[in-house]
Amino acid sequence: MSVAIKANRLTPYMFLAPAGIILVFALLYPIGYMVYASFLDWSPSQRIGQAEFIGFRNYVNLWNDDAFRESFWVTIRFAAIVVTLEMILGVGLALLLDRKLKGMAVLRTVFILPMMIAPIVVGLMWRYMYHPTVGIFNRTLKSFGFEGIPWLSDSTWSFIAIVIADVWQWTPFIFILALAAMQSLPRSALEAAEIDGANEWQKIFMIKLPLMMPVLIVTLLLRLIDAFKVLEVILVLTNGGPGLSTEILALRIFRTAQEFQELGEAAAMSNLLLMLLMALTIGMFLYNRVQEARAARQRAAAEKDDT
């Protein structure tokens, strides 16, 4: 093999090298650091070299820690509920607004406004709206003669309160992606369906949604990852209370590092969260892969039938 060919073969790797090096330093090194830290009994007053190596003790402690288990389930419940609600509402809104109406551009911009507000501000805003006496919800309820709702002082209601705030903020994200996906659907398929006499529901469930599925799956995944990591809004709204009813994992990790001064345990929790998210991501991509393969098979079969 001549030198020129060898150099030619190496060229792509040389171009990739800077990105690869940055990836190693900016991504793998911190993750490796975190994984190593999770095996240490490390307080912030020590340098990492001074911390004692304790093997899997942090993980064992977490396994036996009721508070961690409770916040783990709170996180799962929170993520499942908000993402389901947001998907239904976001895709529903996209289906409703995928038409040419006057002032549509303005309406779309208004819809995505919540997403643009800083989470701390969202938290504060909702906290004032949920305020038992001066908050708009309870004032409205009371003006109609109903009892006020203990939004943030009852464990069930405060969970509902954080779900509402999150759905309000992140539904537009799904809406905007779903709308983009819908507008790039091949018109030919919809026209063919119309000619075949499909009604609106049939068009939605049999054409639009299946064709949008790859985009929706990625959207779902992005939201799910985000929902597992949400921190600021809940920190400001309830700070995890009452009791541990709204203490999601990200908040528990934050408190473990900040309040309890246990960096090792916080690192172990972060690792568990990372593994959970990795499993979800891989699962989701595998599902997507299987779906695509199935679609490809169907297409191939259809083409074969045609010929």
Partner 1 sequence: MLKYLKTTVCAVAGLALGATAALANPYEEFAGETLVVNFPAHPHFDAVMKVLPEFTKETGIRVEVDQLQYLKMRERQTLELTKNRGDYDLIAYVVFSKADYVYADQLENLARFFMNPKLADPNYEAEDLIDGYVANIGVAGGKKGYLPGPTGSLFGLPFGSETSILGYRKDIFDKHDLKVPETYEELLELVCLIPELEPGMGGLASRAASGHHASHAFLLHLAPLGGRIFDDEWKPIVNNAEGVQAAEALKKIVNCGAEGSKTFGFAEAGASFLQGNSAMFLDSTVFAGQVNNPDKSKVVGLVEWAPHPVGVRAGSQTGGFGIGIPKNAQNKDAAFLLMQWLTSKKADKLIAMAGGNPSRYSTHADADVNEKFPHMATFGEALKNADPDWRPIIPVWGKINADLGTTLSKIITEDAPVQESLDGVAERTQALMDDAGYYTWTQ
CA gap 71, 145 in Å, rounded: 36
| Interacting residue with partner 1 among 148, 163, 189, 231 (CB under 8 A) | 148
Residue 139 engages partner 1 in binding (rule: CB under 8 A):
no
d(CA 297, CA 307): 15
One of 20, 30, 44, 283 touching partner 1 (CB under 8 A): 44
Residue 241 touching partner 1 (CB under 8 A) = yes
Q: Which of 150, 163, 229, 274 binds partner 1 (CB under 8 A)?
A: 150
203 within 8 A of 172, measured Cβ to Cβ: no
Map the footprint of partner 1 across residues 259-278, applying CB under 8 A.
259-262
Q: Which of 11, 167, 178, 174 is nearest to 79 (CA)?
A: 167
- 51 in contact with partner 1 (CB under 8 A): no
Which of helix, strand or coil describes residue 241? Answer: coil
- CA 64, chain centre distance (Å): 27
Q: How far is the CB of 160 from partner 1 (least distance, A)?
A: 14
> CB-wise, 133 or 307, nearer to partner 1?
133
Which residue among 8, 11, 43, 109 contacts partner 1 (CB under 8 A)? 43
Q: Does 63 bind partner 1 (CB under 8 A)?
A: no
Instruction: Determine, following the binding rule CB under 8 A, whether residue 46 of this chain makes contact with partner 1.
Output: yes
Tell me: cis bond preceding 242? Omega within 30 of 0 counts. yes
Q: Could you give the C-alpha distances from 23 to 31, 220, 270, 285, in angstroms and in order?
A: 11, 26, 20, 22
Q: List residues near partner 1 by CB under 8 A.
A: 43-47, 61, 66-67, 131-133, 148, 150, 152-155, 238-244, 247, 255, 258-262
